[in-house]
Amino acid sequence: MSDGTGVDTERETGGTEAIDPPASFVEQANVSDPAVREAFAENWPDCWERAADLLDWETPYDTVLDDSNEPFYEWFTGGRLNAAYNCVDRHVEGGGKNRAAIRWVGKRDETRTYTYQDLHREVNEFAAALRDLGVGEDDVVTLYMPMIPELPVAMLACARIGAPHSVVFAGFAADALATRMERADSEYLVTCDGYYRRGTAFNLKSKADNALLDVNHDVRETVVVDRLGDELGHHLPSHQRDYSDLLDAHAGERVDPVPRDAEDMLFLMYTSGTTGEPKGVKHTIGGYLAQAAWTSHAVLDLEPEDTHWCSADIGWITGHSYVVYGPLALGATTTMYEGTPDYPDRDRVWEIVDTNAVDVFYTAPTAIRAFMKWGKEYPERHDLSSLRLLGTVGEPINPRAWKWYHEHVGGGECPIVDTWWQTETGGMMISTLPGVDPMKPGSAGPPLPGVDVDVVDAAGDSVDAGEAGYLTVEKPWPGMLRTLYRNDERFVEECWQRTDDGGYRYAAGDGATVDGDGYVTVLGRIDDVVNVSGRRLGTMEIESAIVEVDGVAEAAVVGADDGPDTAVFAYVSTESGHDATAALRERIGDHVAAAIGPFARPDRVVFAPDLPKTRSGKIMRRLLTAIADGDDLGDTSALRNPEVVGEIEAAVRNE
Ligand code: WTA
């Protein structure tokens, strides 16, 4: 493909031609106007009213964008609305009460369906219960729960009464939960006794109890969902509440949805940044919900009749926006699955798609690569003809995986949207519009209408087509984070850069290229954040855990290429008197699992006599990444201790 700039876009996009969306898809697409980007650009920021129009406002907003206090932008100010009303009540009122809101798949042969009416009833009852327990507006409620319907119910119950939620992924360890509750001053916890994986019951409650012992402030109430029955012999202490007892006590009660300011907090989501401290990303109701709904409409092409399945865990932003808020705001059916994709067999995902006639399937490249490795016979066992659109998120997707997904899951007929966004952006930012744009495997696509993305060099100037640079967002957008909770300073410092004209641009922390057609190819993180199996981790967080292990002097953690996947490499030097033993390696892995969660366990622990340092004493992480990747090390003359490099290389090769 030639784009007139002399840049070889074929190479960047994996050597494929651009693929047009099938006419049958375009005909029915929610957005199919080829001029939609121009229309948005000409009418910015008012173009975002199109997103706000997908919501019901109790009081209309008077300003679309208030940029009087940059970079503390505000959207739809003056407007009042309630997220639970938008995701539940209005669909019941609008004739959709018998439509499925949530289709939940649990253990083998275990399913539950919540109609919008069912969801309405339970959200009301739980909202009444929370209120009765003392939860008031602006009280942060922590939700530490697996993928069970009670999690979205609890989120919506919080939203209904104006209490922000902070969902903590159930895979996090007790320490991580305690830290997040403390940072948020959260006095209420809703958790669960456990969950099932591969038919086996796993304990969540003991982690929650351990966390509660560690929280330094008074936790007023803990509510526990009984998922396991007697399976692990749990016994609820008298000061903790049983979820279903609370529902019984409030059976049939109604709680009016509290009208909230558009700029009130809907939720906090802790995510990894470039320091050891998780950062509390604050999202507000109006802008976030508008962007989640709009992108579900324009990119996922959802209609109320659709069954959508986003396979992400609700403990991460993808699950917030595209399992819960986006699809439910549009009145569609959202699918939730508690288990793993390869149990009882490697066709589990396709069986669920088949049984539930899923229309839109949204997953992570790492899952697609696993499906590809397992083989096409698994999707071939099932009728996947209900699928109309496929999506990916979380990491770059390599063209080979893209094509496999297109052919063996989509039958060559479903468009694929490769959506780039982040916890901080709230919703999708870069993606093809499936009813408008040709797809280029490996490239996410152009920015969405109304989104102004650029790729810049260190001086902040746009790079030429094909050149790598830093991915930035040049104008605010409704779903953007409003601040880092109680840390405005870090928000300004970490997220924003000054521009030459005195304004601000958002720095995403990713490297990217852009081709002559304006398609962005995301190269991956350029800061100390790694994306592993769809999970986002700060290398500093892992390092802080490792150096707590007895015998460890120093640690440096980097993400390394493991084929198209990312592997976490931990380079560790020991204290004198401590040997680099297999037992120590084991202890390091165990401690990281205990402090952060098993998903954070490093793939490789490499012992080094010392870590490579510059003369000013900074660990040269780039060098450690290059060693892990087997790349050329380049110039090492800035090192104070160049002699360790050879030893580290040998350790990486020999272990
Ligand atoms: C990466 C997940 C390439 C990126 C929604 C980003 C992607 C980080 C893509 C955010 C994509 C997300 N192509 N890379 N389509 N989507 N990423 O906060 O590095 O968990 O900065 O949000 O995932 O991860 P987070």
Q: Hey, which of 12, 288, 398, 522 would you mutate to test ligand 1's pocket, going by the most ligand atoms within 8 Å of its Cβ? A: 522
Evaluate if residue 46 carries a pLDDT over 50: yes
Cα 422 to ligand 1 centroid, rounded to whole Å: 5
Kindly compute the dihedral angle of the four CA atoms of residues 379, 383, 386, 391, in this order, to the nearest 10 degrees.
0
Backbone angles phi, psi at 513, to 5 degrees: -125, 160
Cα 522 to ligand 1 centroid, rounded to whole Å: 9
Answer whether 154 contacts ligand 1 (Cβ < 6 A): no
Answer whether 294 contacts ligand 1 (Cβ < 6 A): no
Answer whether 566 contacts ligand 1 (Cβ < 6 A): no
534 neighbors 316 (Cβ within 8 angstroms): yes
Q: Is residue 95 domain-resident? A: no
pTM for this entry: 0.94
**Average pLDDT, integer, range 27-35:** 97
Evaluate if residue 222 carries a pLDDT over 60: yes
Answer whether 574 contacts ligand 1 (Cβ < 6 A): no
Q: Is residue 442 domain-resident? A: no
Which residues lie below 8 Å from residue 150, measured CB to CB, with a gap of 6+? 190, 192, 225, 243
Structure tokens that stand for 230 in this block:
């007697």
Residue 67, classified by CB atoms within 10 Å of its CB into exposed (0-12), middle (13-18) or buried (19+), is middle
Q: Give dist(CA 244, CA 224) in Å, integer.
A: 9
Q: Is residue 548 domain-resident? A: yes
Average pLDDT of the chain is 94
Residue 629's pLDDT band (cuts 50, 70, 90): very high
Evaluate if residue 4 carries a pLDDT over 90: no
Q: Is residue 314 domain-resident? A: no
Cα 276 to ligand 1 centroid, rounded to whole Å: 20
Evaluate if residue 6 carries a pLDDT over 80: no
Which residues lie below 8 Å from residue 560, measured CB to CB, with a gap of 6+? 566, 567, 568, 569, 604, 625, 628, 629
Cα 233 to ligand 1 centroid, rounded to whole Å: 40
Range of the domain at 631: 528-654
Q: Is residue 587 domain-resident? A: yes
Answer whether 313 contacts ligand 1 (Cβ < 6 A): no
Residue 486 region by backbone torsions, left for phi larger than 0, else alpha for psi between -120 and 50, else beta:
left
Q: Give dist(CA 360, CA 375) in Å, integer.
A: 21
**Average pLDDT, integer, range 170-192:** 97
Tell me what pLDDT residue 527 has. 87
Cα dihedral across residues 306, 348, 313, 205: positive or negative: positive
- CATH code of the domain in which 650 resides: 3.30.300.30
Q: Is residue 578 domain-resident? A: yes
Q: With both helix axes pointing from N to C terminus, report the angle between 116-132 and 150-161 in degrees, rounded to the nearest 10.
A: 60
What pLDDT digit, counting tens, does each position of 90-142 carry? 999 999 999 999 999 998 889 999 999 999 999 999 999 999 999 999 999 99
Give the count of domains, the chain: 1
What percent of the chain shows pLDDT beyond 70?
A: 98
Q: Hey, which of 279, 432, 495, 536 would you mutate to test ligand 1's pocket, going by the most ligand atoms within 8 Å of its Cβ? A: 536
Which residues lie below 8 Å from residue 230, measured CB to CB, with a gap of 6+? none
Evaluate if residue 8 carries a pLDDT over 80: no
Atom in ligand 1 nearest the alpha carbon of residue 525: 19
Which residues lie below 8 Å from residue 475, measured CB to CB, with a gap of 6+? 44, 45, 451, 452
Atom in ligand 1 nearest the alpha carbon of residue 397: 13
Tell me what pLDDT residue 369 has. 94
Answer whether 419 contacts ligand 1 (Cβ < 6 A): yes
Looking at this protein, which amino acid is placed at residue 91?
H
Q: Is residue 599 domain-resident? A: yes
Cα 322 to ligand 1 centroid, rounded to whole Å: 14
Q: Is residue 616 domain-resident? A: yes
What pLDDT digit, counting tens, does each position of 292-314 carry? 999 999 999 999 999 999 999 99
